[in-house]
Amino acid sequence: MMVVVLAVVLSACAAGPNPAAGSAAGGGDIAGFWLGLWHGIIAPITFVVSLFKDGVNVYEVYNNGSWYNFGFVIGAVFLIGGSHGARCRKR
C-alpha cells in the first residue's frame, strides 16, 4: 500500500509537455536561458508574492524548454547552494 501511495505522490511531480513552447501567447517573447536564470534567483520572493497575487507565477509557462529549465535550476542552486556553501566552508 505504501508503494502505491509513494508512486502516486511522485507521479504528481512529473513534468508535462509545454504546448506554448515555440509560440508565445499574446505575442511576447519566449523565455530562454537568461530569463530562466533570473527566475531561479528570484524564485523565493516570487513564491511569497504568488501567495497573495493571482497573476504572479513562480515558473514561466511560455519558455523554450530545456534551456529555460537549465537556467532556472542554475539560478536556484546559485541562490540556495552558493550561500550555503560559503557559510559551511571549513577553515
Q: How many CA atoms within 13 Å lie on the side-chain side of 45?
A: 6
CA dihedral 37, 39, 45, 48 (to 10 degrees): -140
pLDDT of residue 7: 67
CA–CA gap between residue 58 and residue 68 (Å, rounded): 13
Boundaries of every domain in the chain: 28-91
Q: How far is CA 1 from CA 13, 45, 69, in A?
A: 19, 38, 34
pLDDT at 6 over 80: no
Q: Say what the pTM is.
A: 0.60
C-alpha cell at 80: 540556495
C-alpha cell at 33: 536561458
pLDDT of residue 35: 87
pLDDT of residue 19: 56
Q: What is the pLDDT of residues 16-61, one digit of tens each?
A: 555 555 555 555 678 888 888 888 888 888 888 888 888 888 888 8
